[in-house]
Amino acid sequence: MCYWFDESNSTLEASVFASCLVDHSEKVLSQKLLPVILYSDGCCAQNRNATLSNALLRLAIEKNIVITQKYLEKGHTHMECDSVHSAIECKLKGKEIFLPQQYMAISKIARSDPMPYEARYLDYNFFTDFSKELIYKSIRPGKKTGDPVVTDIRMLEYRPNGTIWYKVDFDNELQPLPHRPTPINNIKQINGLQKLYAARIPITKRKYQDLQDLNSVLPPSCLSFYDDLPHSNR
How far is the C-alpha of 43 from the C-alpha of 46, rounded, in Å? 6
Q: What is the pLDDT of residue 79?
A: 81
Q: What is the pLDDT of residue 200?
A: 98
Q: What is the pLDDT of residue 190?
A: 78
Q: What is the pLDDT of residue 177?
A: 96
Q: Please report how the helices 82-92 and 101-108 are oriented relative to each other, as an axis angle in degrees rounded to 10.
A: 110
> What residues in the chain have per-residue pLDDT under 50?
none
Q: What is the pLDDT of residue 64?
A: 95
Check if the beta carbon of residue 190 is closer than 8 Å to that of residue 98: no
Beta pairing partners, 176: 165
pTM above 0.75, yes or no: yes
Q: Which residues of 107-144 are buried (b: 16+ CB within 10 A; e: fewer)?
A: beebbeeeeebebebbebebbbbbbeebbbeebbbeee
Q: What is the pLDDT of residue 76?
A: 73
How far is the C-alpha of 3 from the C-alpha of 17, rounded, in Å? 10
How far is the C-alpha of 29 from the C-alpha of 84, rounded, in Å? 22
Q: What is the pLDDT of residue 115?
A: 93
How far is the C-alpha of 217 from the C-alpha of 138, rounded, in Å? 50
